[in-house]
Amino acid sequence: MVAFSDMRRSGTALSRRGVLAGAAGLAMAGRARAQGKTTLRFWTSQGAPPQMAAWKAIFGRFEQANPQSSVAIELYSDDDIWTKLSAAFAAKNVPDLISYVQAYTVATLADNDLLEPFDDVINAVGAENFYPTMRDVYKFKGHYIAATFNNQTSSNLWYRTDLLTAAGLKPPTTWDELVVAAKATTKGDIYGNTLPFGRTSMTSTMMVNFVHQAGGLIVNPDGSVGFNSPATVAALEFLSEVFPYAPPGATNYSWGDVLNSFVTGRAAMAPYTGRPIAMVAAQNPKILDSISVVGYPYMKDGRQAFDCAFNSLFIPKGAAHVAAAKQLAIALFQKDNNIQFLNTAPGHNLPSLKTIGDDPALFDNSLMQKFRPQVELMIRNTAAARNLVQETDKSPYDLKAGDIFNSGVLAETVQDVVVNKMSPKQAAAKGADKIASLLKA
C-alpha cells in the first residue's frame, strides 16, 4: 500500500505516477476502514426535509446500537419506482430495504418471486400488534412478504365547516347528499367538490373505492371480473353527476391538485388523507378552524368502504445484507422511531401498530391535539381499509392487482364517462373487457 507520505515530489509538482499511486493508496485505505462494516442501502420516497431529518435521527440511533452497520438513504419518486426497480434487478444491485412502496407494486414483485420472506420481522414486532388488514395484506402463500410500515386512506371527505353551515347543511354521508352539498357550495370562485378525474393513480384509487361503496368488486373472489356491474355503473353515474361542481382542470387532477384546491380554499370539499392538517396550518391558517373530516360518503343502500396504500417495508430478493436489513426493519417499528417518523406529517402518516395508535405520545404535537378526534377517526377508517390486492375477506391475494392498477384502466373508465361522454354502462363494459385481458395475460 502506498500512502501520501511515500509520494515523492518532482520539482515543485507531484509526479503523475505519484498522484496515481496516492489515489490508489487512498482508495485501499478507505476500503480497509470499511472492512467489517456493513452499509445498508435504504430506499424511500419520503425525502422532504422533515422526513430526511427523521430518517437521519432514527438511523443515527440504529447505527449507535449496531456499530457494525451504517445506513445509506437512497431516494426514489413514486413516478420512477418501476424504472429504478427494474434497473436494480437487472444489474443485480438491489437495495437492502425498501420503504413506502404501495401494496399493488408489492403484489407484482410477489408475482415475480422477487421478495425475501418477512416473517421474522412481523414476528419480532408482534403479529398481533398489527391492525389485521394491514398485516394480512402482505400474507402470501402462508408467509409474510412485507409489512405495512404506516398507512393512510384518501377515503375521507375533508370539508369546510363554515361553508356547509352557511348553506344550512350537515356533512354529507351519502353520494346524494354530497351532490346536494357540492351544488350548494359552488359559489363565486369556490368549487363545491374536488375529485380527481385525470388518468392518474388517485383517480384509480378513488374508483376502486367508489365501486366498493356501491357494493361491487373489481375482481370477484373466484377470480372472475366483477367490474361490469350495476355497482360500477352507479359509481360512474355519481361521478358524472358531481363532475360539474369540480374545478375546470379536474380532468387532469391527481393528488397534488386535489390537495391544493382544498388547502387554498378554492374547494369546499375534497377527498384526502390527513395531509390537509399540516398543509392548511402552514399555508392557509385562516381556515384552520373551519375544516373537518368525515369518512367518504357512500351510495345509499351501498356500504361504507375505505381504500388505502399500505405503505410497505420489504427486502427485495438478492439484497446483500438480509439479516441486517431485518434488524433495521424491526428498529423502524420501535415506538420512538415509529412515532418520530409518523409525526413528520401529522395526521397523514397513520400507525400500522395498535399500541402506537393508542399511545398518547402519538398526539404529543399541537396539530395532532387540535385534530385528535379527526385523526382518531382516520385511524379507524384506515384500520378498516382494503384495496385491490385483497378486496374482501374471501378474496385471494390478487397478484394481478398491480397490472390492473398500473394499466390505468380504472381511471380510463372514469375519463370515458366524464371526458369522452360515453354512457356509464358502455364504459363499465369496456373497462371490464380490458381487465379481463389483463387477468388473462
In this structure, what is the dihedral angle of CA atoms 175, 251, 381, 116, given to the nearest 10 degrees? 140
> From the CB of residue 11, how many other CB atoms can be counted at a distance below 10 Å?
6
Tell me whether residue 49 or residue 248 sits nearer to other proteins (CB atom): 248
Tell me whether residue 22 or residue 408 sits nearer to other proteins (CB atom): 408
Shortest CB 266 distance to other proteins, Å: 5
Window of 258-266, 270-278, 297-305, 340-348 that interacts with other proteins by CB under 8 A: 258-266
Binder among 217, 398, 415, 431 for other proteins (CB under 8 A): 415
Shortest CB 179 distance to other proteins, Å: 20
In 3D space, the residue among 159, 178, 155 whose CA is nearest the CA of residue 292 turns out to be 159
Distance CA 382, CA 306 (A): 7
Window of 46-54, 122-130, 283-291, 416-424 that interacts with other proteins by CB under 8 A: 416-424
> Site residues for other proteins, window 262-291 (CB under 8 A)?
264, 266
Window of 95-103, 242-250, 303-311, 378-386 that interacts with other proteins by CB under 8 A: 242-250
Distance CA 206, CA 242 (A): 14
Window of 29-37, 65-73, 256-264, 349-357 that interacts with other proteins by CB under 8 A: 256-264
Decide if 144 contacts 138 (C-beta within 8 A).
yes
Buried b (16+ CB within 10 A) or exposed e, 44-64: bbbeeeebeebbeebbeebbe
Shortest CB 139 distance to other proteins, Å: 22
Distance CA 280, CA 159 (A): 12
Distance CA 333, CA 150 (A): 9
Shortest CB 333 distance to other proteins, Å: 28
Tell me whether residue 108 or residue 273 sits nearer to other proteins (CB atom): 108
Binder among 251, 284, 423, 426 for other proteins (CB under 8 A): 251
Tell me whether residue 96 or residue 403 sits nearer to other proteins (CB atom): 403
Distance CA 211, CA 202 (A): 14
Binder among 11, 168, 248, 360 for other proteins (CB under 8 A): 248
Shortest CB 109 distance to other proteins, Å: 7
Shortest CB 251 distance to other proteins, Å: 4
Binder among 26, 57, 75, 419 for other proteins (CB under 8 A): 419
Binder among 2, 14, 75, 114 for other proteins (CB under 8 A): 114
> What pairing do the DSSP bridges indicate for beta strands 97-99 and 311-314?
antiparallel
Tell me whether residue 79 or residue 301 sits nearer to other proteins (CB atom): 79
In this structure, what is the dihedral angle of CA atoms 306, 157, 182, 287, given to the nearest 10 degrees? -170
> What pairing do the DSSP bridges indicate for beta strands 156-160 and 267-271?
antiparallel
Owner of C-alpha cell 390537509: 276
Binding residues for other proteins, rule CB under 8 A, total 32
> Site residues for other proteins, window 360-399 (CB under 8 A)?
none
Q: Is 439 exposed, middle or buried (0-12, 13-18, 19+ CB in 10 A)?
A: middle
> Site residues for other proteins, window 194-213 (CB under 8 A)?
198-200
Decide if 179 contacts 242 (C-beta within 8 A).
yes
Binder among 249, 300, 366, 396 for other proteins (CB under 8 A): 249
In 3D space, the residue among 333, 325, 372, 371 whose CA is nearest the CA of residue 352 turns out to be 333
Is residue 420 close enough to count as binding other proteins by CB under 8 A?
Answer: yes
Binder among 15, 77, 112, 392 for other proteins (CB under 8 A): 112
Window of 28-36, 163-171, 250-258, 350-358 that interacts with other proteins by CB under 8 A: 250-258
Binder among 247, 271, 347, 424 for other proteins (CB under 8 A): 247
Is residue 93 close enough to count as binding other proteins by CB under 8 A?
Answer: no
In sequence order, the 6+-apart residues with CB closer than 8 A to the CB of 94 are 88, 316, 317, 318, 319
Rg of the chain, C-alpha, whole Å: 25
Binder among 44, 69, 108, 381 for other proteins (CB under 8 A): 108
Distance CA 165, CA 171 (A): 9
Q: Which residues bind other proteins (CB under 8 A)?
A: 82-83, 85-86, 89-90, 108-109, 112, 114, 198-200, 247-252, 260-261, 264, 266, 403, 406-408, 412, 415-416, 419-420
